[in-house]
Amino acid sequence: MTNRRDLLCDTAIQILAVEGGRGLTHRAIDREAGVPLGTAKNYFRTRESILEAAAHRMTTLHKDAVERLRETTPADISPTDVSELYPALLRRAVADDPTQMLAMMELYLEAVRRPGVREALSGMVVANAEAGAALHQAAGLPSTVRDAGLLDAYFLGVAISLLALPVDTLRTVGLDDPYALGIGLFAAAAPAQAVPAAAPGLSAGG
């Protein structure tokens, strides 16, 4: 069961995704979470403390997701299996449920000017890179934390483009095939690894 603090953080993440940073207020959190007015203020005295808490909550959620992935990773996972993971992650982050990605974008912007948010996001970035490197190594790939960190950064940049730009623009600049993009992201961060070519016929609609 989600405790009240986590409920407020999850609500803050949802508000960031839907309304952006300007929509994130104590009153908005109380309203969306269905709690008495003043509840969010009791937990988070300032707006910056809300942002920091939301970033820490996202870190926890990402760590939990990575742990579930690790627990279900087959012992005989191959490099091809790992590369195929990235198109799926890109589709989920952009098409299936962009809430986390949109909220993360807002937090990145806030982190430029808010050291506390920057520190909170740092924990998530490092944890993701370490987990990614461990997954690659389980498949016999000599990936390092740096390789995985670059892959995450590339992934974020591509996801932002897919969420922000119109389809015609994505097509013009060659970003309209999510499957090929996912495979390409992996290849760019691990250029020495053997990765499969994009399957024919799999494009933005596939």
* Residue ranges per structural domain of the chain: 59-189
First to last CA, the chain: 36
Structure tokens at 191: 């250029």
In this prediction, residue 67 carries a pLDDT of 77
Cα gap 185→88, rounded to integer Å: 12
pLDDT digits (tens, 9 = 90+) for 143-161: 999 999 999 999 999 999 9
Cα gap 186→191, rounded to integer Å: 8
Residue 106: which residues within 8 A CB-CB, separation 6 or more?
16, 17, 20, 21
Tell me the mean pLDDT in the region 97-125.
Answer: 91
pLDDT band of 201, cuts 50, 70, 90: very low
In this prediction, residue 192 carries a pLDDT of 62
Per the CB < 8 A criterion, the answer to whether 162 and 175 are in contact is yes
Q: What is the C-alpha radius of gyration for the chain, rounded to an integer number of angstroms?
A: 18
Residue 200 has pLDDT above 50, yes or no: no
Per the CB < 8 A criterion, the answer to whether 121 and 107 are in contact is yes
* Burial class, 34, CB count within 10 angstroms (exposed 0-12 / middle 13-18 / buried 19+): exposed
In this prediction, residue 162 carries a pLDDT of 95
In this prediction, residue 97 carries a pLDDT of 92
In this prediction, residue 191 carries a pLDDT of 56
In this prediction, residue 65 carries a pLDDT of 80
pLDDT digits (tens, 9 = 90+) for 44-83: 999 999 999 999 998 888 878 877 877 787 888 888 898 9
pLDDT band of 203, cuts 50, 70, 90: very low
Residue 127: which residues within 8 A CB-CB, separation 6 or more?
59, 62, 63, 66
Rank 25-34, 116-125, 142-151 by mean pLDDT and report only the highest.
25-34
Cα gap 122→198, rounded to integer Å: 32
DSSP 139: T
Per the CB < 8 A criterion, the answer to whether 195 and 183 are in contact is yes
Q: Where are the alpha helices (DSSP H) in the chain?
A: 4-19, 26-33, 39-43, 47-72, 79-91, 99-111, 115-138, 145-164, 167-172, 178-189
Tell me the mean pLDDT in the region 108-120.
Answer: 91
